[in-house]
Structure 1
Amino acid sequence: MGNITGFMEHQKVPLHYRDPMERIKDWNEIATLPTEEILREQASRCMDCAVPFCQDGTQLAGMTTGCPVYNLIPEWNDLVYKGRWKEAYHRLSRTNPFPEFTGRACPAPCEGGCVATLATDSVTIKNIERAIIDKAFEEGWVQPNIPKHRTGKKVAVIGSGPAGLACASVLNQHGHQVTVYERADRIGGLLTYGIPKTKIEQYVVDRRIRLMEEEGIAFVTNTEVGKQLQMDQLHSENDAVILCIGSTRPRDLNIPGRNQKGIHFAMDYLHQNTKSLLDSNFADEEFINAEGKDVIVIGGGDTATDCVTTAVRQNCKSLVQFDIYPIRPTKRAEDNPWPQYPVIHKVDTGQEEAKHVFGNDPRAFATTAQGFTSDKYGNITGVKSVNIKTKFNEKGEKIRDIVPGTEKIWSAQLVLLAIGFSGPETGLIKQTKVALNNQSNIKVKKDTFQTDEEGIFAAGDARTGASLIVWAIQEGKEAAMECHHYLMRNVS
């Protein structure tokens, strides 16, 4: 590194967010980057460590640390520090096809593994990544990379989320003709409809899709394979098919009153809201509206936070978020050492906004729902909750005990379930010989992306279960390479 003492000379400068009371009035991106001078200072904090844990993604204690796409982080940090932005962009693009997505929506496990955290705060890796790609677009450095030769092989990619787009990009660069099928009316999968536009504005997604089209990739929307287009036809018309259909079956709560009106899955809520925003700026009223309602969000993850973000902007009357876990410590616990991902108390942007509107953090920690109450018309009126205590048995399994005397009823006219996903939808899969594994994900042959049916591959959340956007991109890249070798194995 050009400045080996930078991490001692400069303090961490985090991303700047617009004022909460101002940003809740719109759906624009809430984060803005620091000045170039500050960004270069922040890049200088990369400390020339002997082993950069930041750039090698792995699983530790069930959590991701480091970068799953193997970004060459110290290298482009050094280039940014020296003001060599174009070189930094080319270095970043060697590993990550979509840094504008990860630079906005990735939880930055790279920073959790940053060696600098042993002495001070981590390097602002995610911010610098976004700064590099944003500058590259501004300067016109990002241009379509059109393959010079075509192999004559055709590949169908089902699903246009991060995994599907990464698959398509890599296969296209190897000269194959790729068509991406998407059942929604817009390309992008969760990038378009699963993440609020406050994190990724739609122009960021559309800009990349236009580049991919210029590179020769075809996109087909409003087409659900298995319904409008049968799987056997698609398979026969292509040399290979890759399933990047995500893990979209939401987990449910089997508790009394679940069938009452006003209880919705989180992704239905988020999808409808974003579609109405993009279609008509909400004029069509085709969305689930939290305005004037007491809202309960059940779940403690990113999707739950996105629901909080959305409900606040819809002018809900009150807001409570149930988090099954107890409040985390402010610093790493002894059983959560570096380089594991730090399990510490955080206030995300959604909770920050709710706190400014309602005066307190919306989360009720160590709380779970036990049932729902309703009026005589079947409309939800409340949620019954109880506090729980989480412990581990001798096998390391989580045991959750109810804390007696903590029962409570919360007023609610809208409840959003954000408690995870249980695998891909199976309608399409039933038209194939593809099997599911014990975790209800698509089964593949050991250490591969090949399913039980010849010429059909699987990647992303459909193969691994719900995970991070950055893992989905890496899955797409690796599946594409395996598919490429499959396609070319008998080509002289």
Structure 2
Amino acid sequence: MGKPTGFIEYKRENPTKRDPFERTKSWKEFQILMPEPVLRQQGARCMDCGVPFCQTGTTMDGSGEIGCPVYNLIPEWNDLVYRGKWKEALERLHKTNNFPEFTGRVCPAPCEGSCTVAISDDAVSIKSIEYHIVERGFQEGWIVPNPPMKRSGKKVAVVGSGPAGLAAAAQLNKAGHSVTVFEREDRIGGLLTYGIPDVKLANEVVERRVKLLEDEGITFKVNVEIGKDVSASELKDEFDSVLLCTGATKPRNVEVEGRELKGIHFAMDFLTENTKSLLNSNHKDGKYISAKDKNVIVIGGGDTGVDCITTSVRHGAKSITQFDINRQKSNVRGENNPWPLFPIVHTVEDGQKEAAAVYGTDPRSYQVSTTRFVGDDNGNVKEIHTIGVETTIDAKGRKIRTPIPGTEKVWPADLVLLAVGFTGPEERIIEELSLETTSRSTIDAEYGKYATSVPGVFAAGDNRRGQSLVVWAIHEGREAARECDRYLMGSSNLP
């Protein structure tokens, strides 16, 4: 611990970002690199706790999550940053996380919620330090291809190139196996590329890492859908093992009157088409769902809903409203959400700050439930009817939504984006391989083992655990690679 009194002497400084109004005029990332002296002070705030909850990466049944799922060695690289040893900090960071440039941008930082300083003060700015370590590594040329010394002679197919698939491929390649990653889209990255707006995670950042993985020997095949272009049985016959990292991409619907009207879209369709058009033609091809000059309603209060706001603002929407069915959260932890659990408190995300800057107010409306969509004579949605609801939890832990009389309201709506979560993975490859599934429709593969009901076939990430965070996907991809390696070789040296 380089500075025993650092957490007393220095206050937290948040990452510097461009002005919310100004940055809506482009699709460029808006986080600005901080000066080294500031970063070293921020690293000095780390207490090097005897029990660093920030890096524990675990869950408490019925309560929530604690710490970093990939077990980042946070106190170690914070201390190294404080002492100006950036290359050593990068080595410690890469030891547990294949892609800190992704998590440093889009992870909600459960580590910071479990930081010991956060018991009575602002947490150490862990995510910001992580971001700066890896970006300095790229700037200095420290991050270079590192192919394995020898090959095992085994071939592994990884299906899906999102964070779980890329992490699994990277680890299996390190073990010496010949890895081929199959992606049905036209670019590698899965939700990293098409599920997260370019302003939050630029495609060039994803491509930069993919190029390194290619140089290390991994083969990527795009526009190949397993079960359509290549059968699952062919895949199993050609490769010694198959690892499924296909995500949980089936969107949850809002099944109310008028759902069939034009202008109502799933959030991921909206986000995917926008990014494709942006990357292909800077939107000149017009092959995207435009929010320009429209009254936009986003149904869903989570991160995907915020991404829809981020995108709609840049399109030039007339207005943007985000429906959240829950109450507005408190600014402080509740009694049932103590430290070191991830804090369930009110926050204002970047997209919401941008909407407030452009339209003058936070776009969220709380305790709102949609009762029906109403269209015009041409079948286009023109308004949404809603009612306020009160949410309670019954004895079995189920959420009960009770309408509040007198809270009915009509909202103008030209574009409705459904961001209410996902119901599980798509079934085609599951059915082709005759895999057993759980009651939640996810692939049945035990956590920590990742083996499916079919020998030699493994599953990791959202298709196994359900919709989750990028950092959990990386964690599962790494662990599944270890178990796949053990299956192929009898033992494994992978972490």
TM-score range, shorter chain: over 0.9
Task: Answer yes or no: is the 8 Å Cα contact 1:33–1:127 preserved in 2.
Answer: no
1:399 deviation in Å?
Answer: 1.6
Distance in 2 between residues matched to 1:275 and 1:447, nearest whole Å: 35
The AA in structure 1 aligned to 2:42 is Q
Distance in 2 between residues matched to 1:193 and 1:293, nearest whole Å: 23
Structure 2: gaps spanning 5 or more residues: none
**SS where residue 383 of structure 2 aligns?**
strand
* Correspondences of 1:237-248 after superposition (within 5 Å): 237-248=238-249
Task: Answer yes or no: is the 8 Å Cα contact 2:244–2:458 preserved in 1.
Answer: yes
Cross-structure match for 2:308: 307
Question: What CA deviation, in whole Å up to 9, does each residue of 1:301-356 have, x standing for no partner?
Answer: 10000000000000000110001110111111222111111111111011101111
The AA in structure 2 aligned to 1:8 is I
Distance in 1 between residues matched to 2:336 and 2:238, nearest whole Å: 53
Cross-structure match for 2:470: 469
* Correspondences of 1:353-372 after superposition (within 5 Å): 353-372=354-373
Cross-structure match for 2:221: 220
Question: What CA deviation, in whole Å up to 9, does each residue of 1:128-186 have, x standing for no partner?
Answer: 00110000111111011110010000000000000000000000000000000000000
The question of 1:27 aligning with 2:23 is answered: no
Distance in 1 between residues matched to 2:282 and 2:312, nearest whole Å: 16
Q: Which moved more, 1:145-154 or 1:53-62?
A: 53-62
The AA in structure 1 aligned to 2:29 is E
Cross-structure match for 1:69: 70
Label 1:304 to 1:62 Cα distance change in 2 as closer, same or farther (>3 A): farther
1:446 deviation in Å?
Answer: 6.9
Distance in 2 between residues matched to 1:193 and 1:87, nearest whole Å: 33
The question of 1:39 aligning with 2:39 is answered: yes
Structure 1: gaps spanning 5 or more residues: none
Cross-structure match for 1:57: 57
1:198 deviation in Å?
Answer: 0.7
Distance in 2 between residues matched to 1:333 and 1:431, nearest whole Å: 46
Distance in 1 between residues matched to 2:357 and 2:92, nearest whole Å: 40
Distance in 2 between residues matched to 1:143 and 1:488, nearest whole Å: 28
Distance in 2 between residues matched to 1:459 and 1:382, nearest whole Å: 41
**SS where residue 422 of structure 2 aligns?**
coil
Cross-structure match for 2:126: 125
**SS where residue 157 of structure 1 aligns?**
strand
Cross-structure match for 1:416: 417
The question of 1:201 aligning with 2:202 is answered: yes
1:21 deviation in Å?
Answer: 1.4
The question of 1:386 aligning with 2:387 is answered: yes
1:90 deviation in Å?
Answer: 0.5
Distance in 2 between residues matched to 1:303 and 1:150, nearest whole Å: 40
1:62 deviation in Å?
Answer: 4.6
Distance in 2 between residues matched to 1:135 and 1:31, nearest whole Å: 14
The question of 1:273 aligning with 2:274 is answered: yes
1:238 deviation in Å?
Answer: 0.2
Cross-structure match for 2:321: 320
Distance in 2 between residues matched to 1:424 and 1:362, nearest whole Å: 31
Question: What CA deviation, in whole Å up to 9, does each residue of 1:350-377 have, x standing for no partner?
Answer: 1101111111100001111111000122
TM-score by length of 2: 0.98
Cross-structure match for 1:3: 3
1:119 deviation in Å?
Answer: 2.4
Question: What CA deviation, in whole Å up to 9, does each residue of 1:438-483 have, x standing for no partner?
Answer: 0110112575211111111100000000000000000000000000
Cross-structure match for 1:260: 261
Distance in 2 between residues matched to 1:490 and 1:381, nearest whole Å: 61
Question: What CA deviation, in whole Å up to 9, does each residue of 1:228-258 have, x standing for no partner?
Answer: 1111111100000011000000000111101
Cross-structure match for 1:106: 107
Distance in 1 between residues matched to 2:171 and 2:184, nearest whole Å: 22
Distance in 1 between residues matched to 2:396 and 2:232, nearest whole Å: 43
* Correspondences of 1:74-93 after superposition (within 5 Å): 74-93=75-94
Task: Answer yes or no: is the 8 Å Cα contact 2:460–2:480 preserved in 1.
Answer: yes
Task: Answer yes or no: is the 8 Å Cα contact 2:485–2:491 preserved in 1.
Answer: no
Distance in 2 between residues matched to 1:444 and 1:367, nearest whole Å: 37
1:122 deviation in Å?
Answer: 0.2
Distance in 1 between residues matched to 2:154 and 2:175, nearest whole Å: 10
Distance in 2 between residues matched to 1:489 and 1:13, nearest whole Å: 48
Distance in 1 between residues matched to 2:447 and 2:400, nearest whole Å: 32
**SS where residue 428 of structure 2 aligns?**
coil
Task: Answer yes or no: is the 8 Å Cα contact 2:195–2:268 preserved in 1.
Answer: yes
The AA in structure 1 aligned to 2:67 is G
Distance in 2 between residues matched to 1:51 and 1:209, nearest whole Å: 35
Distance in 2 between residues matched to 1:396 and 1:98, nearest whole Å: 36
* Correspondences of 1:386-465 after superposition (within 5 Å): 386-445=387-446, 447-465=448-466
Identity percentage of aligned residues: 54
The AA in structure 1 aligned to 2:434 is K
Distance in 1 between residues matched to 2:3 and 2:383, nearest whole Å: 57
The AA in structure 1 aligned to 2:212 is L
Question: What CA deviation, in whole Å up to 9, does each residue of 1:59-95 have, x standing for no partner?
Answer: 2345322000000000000000000000000111110
Distance in 1 between residues matched to 2:46 and 2:54, nearest whole Å: 10
Task: Answer yes or no: is the 8 Å Cα contact 1:445–1:452 preserved in 2.
Answer: no
RMSD over equivalenced CA pairs, Å: 1.2
Task: Answer yes or no: is the 8 Å Cα contact 2:448–2:480 preserved in 1.
Answer: no
1:274 deviation in Å?
Answer: 0.3
Task: Answer yes or no: is the 8 Å Cα contact 1:261–1:378 preserved in 2.
Answer: yes
TM-score by length of 1: 0.98
Cross-structure match for 1:187: 188
Q: Which moved more, 1:324-333 or 1:98-107?
A: 324-333
Question: What CA deviation, in whole Å up to 9, does each residue of 1:205-242 have, x standing for no partner?
Answer: 00100000000000000111110111111110000001
1:435 deviation in Å?
Answer: 1.9
